[in-house]
């Protein structure tokens, strides 16, 4: 897998799967726009690891409707183009179905805005840009096992947002593959990042219970998800456009 000469935008590149993806692309010769939300220090450390000129940092709160337009403009202005978009940033909020209507609606709106709508907005930015320039490009969207299996009883909105990403990706593949614009998903099971750790912290027995559901015997590390993202992003299997690669230790085999 080779990224020399390619410019890749990774959302949520400051931590977890996003940071592993940034490292994987850099180690294969690519240049990376690292998007971050609140964690500038972590994003800056990654850029410093990479060395001068290899990364460009852009902050954007994806919870803000429409904010991706500015993010995309800043990302493109660094090198004059983006070749690959990796929509990785996401949140995993816990619902309380018995709580107030107001809280319920606010949580659904936030989850859909950050996980799904900002992803769709950036896909639109990318597709319009590539179409105007008359060039191809690749999009890799990070979905989840939850899109296919469903999630725990208090994560309806998370599962729905990740299902939306899968159908969005299929639609883009059908619409634009003849223009050289390819779209893919990766769907991880549990991955030991801050997102997962926050759940383990709430429930000390959770890690062991979840492990029992994984025949492989361990959770996939963020680096394996990053490798799968790179496989698609590098253009090694463009006829797989529209497809999702599951990485979950056989915990949910479709």
Interface with ligand NAP (CB under 6 A): 12, 14-18, 36-39, 60-63, 88-92, 114, 142, 144, 188, 190-191, 193-196
Which residues lie across from 141 on neighbouring strands?
Answer: 87, 185
- Closer residue to ligand NAP (CB): 138 or 222: 222
Q: How far is the CB of 5 from ligand NAP (least distance, A)?
A: 26
Is residue 20 within 8 Å of residue 90, measured between CB atoms? no
71 to each of 20, 61, 62, 89, 182, how far by Cα in Å? 21, 9, 9, 13, 21
Q: How far is the CB of 30 from ligand NAP (least distance, A)?
A: 18
Q: For tokens 């180690």, name the residue.
A: 27
How far is 207 from 192, CA to CA, in rounded Å?
10
Q: For tokens 């805005």, name the residue.
A: 113
Q: Helix (H, G, I), strand (E, B), or coil: what is residue 25?
A: helix
Q: How far is the CB of 63 from ligand NAP (least distance, A)?
A: 4
Tokens of 247: 């990485």
- Closer residue to ligand NAP (CB): 111 or 241: 111
- Closer residue to ligand NAP (CB): 39 or 152: 39
- Closer residue to ligand NAP (CB): 89 or 122: 89
Q: How far is the CB of 96 from ligand NAP (least distance, A)?
A: 20
Instruction: Give the chain's count of helices (H) and strands (E).
Output: 10, 7
Q: Helix (H, G, I), strand (E, B), or coil: what is residue 15?
A: coil
Tokens of 39: 């964690």
Tokens of 35: 């998007």
Q: How far is the CB of 59 from ligand NAP (least distance, A)?
A: 8
Tokens of 226: 């990053």
- Closer residue to ligand NAP (CB): 64 or 133: 64
Tokens of 73: 């403009």
Report DSSP state, residue 186: E
Tokens of 75: 């990302």
Query: Is-catalytic flag, 182?
Result: no
Tokens of 20: 């592993």
- Closer residue to ligand NAP (CB): 126 or 220: 220
- CB neighbours of 37 closer than 8 A, spacing ≥ 6? 12, 14, 59, 60, 61, 62, 89
| Active-site choice (158, 176, 182, 184) | 158
Q: How far is the CB of 117 from ligand NAP (least distance, A)?
A: 12
What are the catalytic residues? 158
């Amino acid at each position: 897998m080779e990224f020399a000469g390619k410019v890749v935008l990774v959302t949520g590149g400051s931590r977890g799967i996003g940071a592993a993806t940034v490292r994987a692309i850099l180690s294969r010769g690519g240049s990376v726009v690292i998007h971050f939300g609140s964690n500038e220090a972590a994003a800056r450390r990654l850029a410093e690891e990479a060395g001068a000129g290899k990364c460009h940092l852009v902050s954007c709160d994806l919870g803000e409707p429409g904010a991706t337009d500015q993010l995309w403009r800043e990302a493109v202005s660094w090198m004059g183009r983006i070749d690959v978009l990796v929509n990785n940033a996401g949140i995993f909020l816990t619902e309380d179905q018995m709580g107030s209507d107001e809280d319920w609606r606010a949580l659904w709106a936030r989850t859909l805005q950050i996980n799904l709508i900002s992803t769709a907005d950036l896909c639109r930015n990318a597709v319009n840009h590539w179409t105007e320039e008359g060039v191809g490009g690749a999009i890799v969207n990070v979905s989840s096992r939850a899109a296919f299996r469903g999630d725990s009883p208090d994560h309806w909105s998370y599962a729905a947002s990740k299902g939306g990403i899968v159908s969005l990706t299929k639609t883009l593949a059908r619409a634009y593959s003849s223009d050289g614009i390819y779209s893919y998903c990766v769907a991880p099971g549990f991955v030991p990042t801050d997102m997962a750790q926050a759940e383990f912290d709430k429930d000390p027995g959770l890690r062991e219970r979840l492990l029992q559901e994984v025949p492989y015997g361990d959770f996939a590390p963020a680096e394996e998800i990053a490798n799968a993202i790179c496989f698609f992003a590098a253009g090694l299997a463009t006829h797989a456009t529209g497809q999702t690669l599951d990485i979950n230790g056989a915990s949910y085999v479709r």
